[in-house]
Amino acid sequence: MSVRRAALPILSLIALLGLQQAAVYLPRLPGSSLLRRTVAKLRSREFTQVDLENLQAGYYQTLLNEGARVANAGLANPAGGIDASAQEGLYAPGGFLGWKFWPSASTVSRDGRSRLITNRFGMADRDYSLEKAPGTRRIALLGDSIVRGWGIATKDDFEELLEDRLNSVYRDANIQKFEILNFAVDNYTITQHLDVARETVPPYKPDVYVVSFTDLTVFRKWGNHIGLLVHRRADLKYDYLKRLAREADLKASDTSDQIQAKLAPYRIPTLRWALGELKAHCEREKVPLILLLVPSVSDAALVRTGFQGAYELGPELGIPVIDLTDTFQGVEDMSPYRISGVDRHPNEQGHRKIFENLYAKLLANPALFKLLVGKQPSAVPPPAKR
């Protein structure tokens, strides 16, 4: 077992036992030197953005490796008895996207703390029909694990809270129902958002597209998907990506670190290209596009670093932006809003805080509210908080 994979359960142990008790056991375990340094940084609260990214990378790498293993074990028969719960509900069908959620799945996370339930179309969301019913306002939401609600029940994530609020306050004779279809998948990056928008979303006939950036997937891991395709010698599909791979001299034999280093100069150009393609797609579909900036539960300085260079892309491309990166600004103790001490994904309270900030930002900008919701904000007070 690699040090990184060994570290994952130990970090859970740290969260459960606390730093003092966990430190007693570290000398006996694989990778103990690395883990002792981790505990020292947790004690000193001196984590840098790179430290936090490296911790998160362990989760993502394991997740992707398990997805690939399941694909090799028997993808041809998804109902053939594969234990999807061991793979966090993901499978790897190959092709450009690389991995997806199983449809109609109910899977338990490895730590047993949460259950992922997907609908018949493989969304981590409540069930919807493919055909949009008359009088329905449909919003297509693209994103990563934060946006899909990693580690919590679907009903508690910020998009479901927003959907419930819209349906409780803003239905009328013209808009009888609001549906926010959550196409977010764990570790999806901008290149996958673009492909989902172009290939998966159109049959659902959304009235607006919302593409989400989070600091987990627009900073150091923004190119993970491209690297995976290169390692697998898969078709990069888009001319821009093929040209990028040639210019950056990406090779299937490169290590992940080498690919990351080679891709570094292309981060902002690639984000800009993909957003431009998304905007062009939405213009062809004659529907608006909104860029949503969603933070992890992190110190404000770390969040700003994670979004460095991405803030300006919306205005530059003429795409309206809803900036939620200030959601946890000024919060001294992040633990009540996190999945765990070392996992920056928001828990139920964290998602509610994101929702409240999103709703407040929408009410403060009637033009943006109308673009998303299809009507002006209501003077009716919202329901009381739960």
pLDDT value for 205: 98
- Judged against a pLDDT cut of 50, whether residue 15 lies above it is answered with no
| pLDDT, tens only, 164-211 | 999 999 999 999 999 999 999 999 999 999 999 999 999 999 999 999
Region 341-362: mean pLDDT is: 96
Closest CA to 82 of 51, 64, 112, 105: 105
Which backbone phi and psi does 73 adopt, to 5 degrees?
Answer: -80, -25
Residue-averaged pLDDT of the chain: 82
| Confidence grade of residue 216 (pLDDT, cut at 50, 70, 90) | confident
Whole-number Å distance between alpha carbons of 156 and 56: 22
pLDDT value for 58: 45
Q: Distances in Å between the alpha carbon of 205 and those of 18, 102, 270, 341? A: 49, 22, 27, 40
Least confident of 8-12, 94-98, 231-235, 333-337: 8-12
Angle at 206 between CA 372 and CA 327, to 5 degrees: 40
Least confident of 190-199, 213-222, 308-317: 213-222
pLDDT value for 4: 45
Tokens standing for residue 217: 């997937």
Superfamily classification of domain 81-373 = SGNH hydrolase (3.40.50.1110)
pLDDT value for 206: 98
- Which of 21 and 265 is assigned the larger pLDDT? 265
pLDDT value for 341: 85
- Judged against a pLDDT cut of 60, whether residue 6 lies above it is answered with no
The string of DSSP codes covering 265-278 is: GGHHHHHHHHHHHH
- Which of 25 and 249 is assigned the larger pLDDT? 249
pLDDT value for 379: 54
Tokens standing for residue 366: 């009637």
Q: How many CB atoms lie within 10 A of CB 78?
A: 16
Domain range annotation of the chain: 81-373
Give the alpha-carbon dihedral of 155, 126, 207, 353, to 10 degrees. 10
- Judged against a pLDDT cut of 60, whether residue 30 lies above it is answered with no
- Alpha helices of the chain — where are they, by DSSP H? 3-17, 19-25, 32-44, 49-74, 145-148, 158-169, 190-195, 224-231, 239-247, 256-263, 267-285, 300-306, 313-317, 348-363, 366-373
3-state DSSP call for residue 354? helix
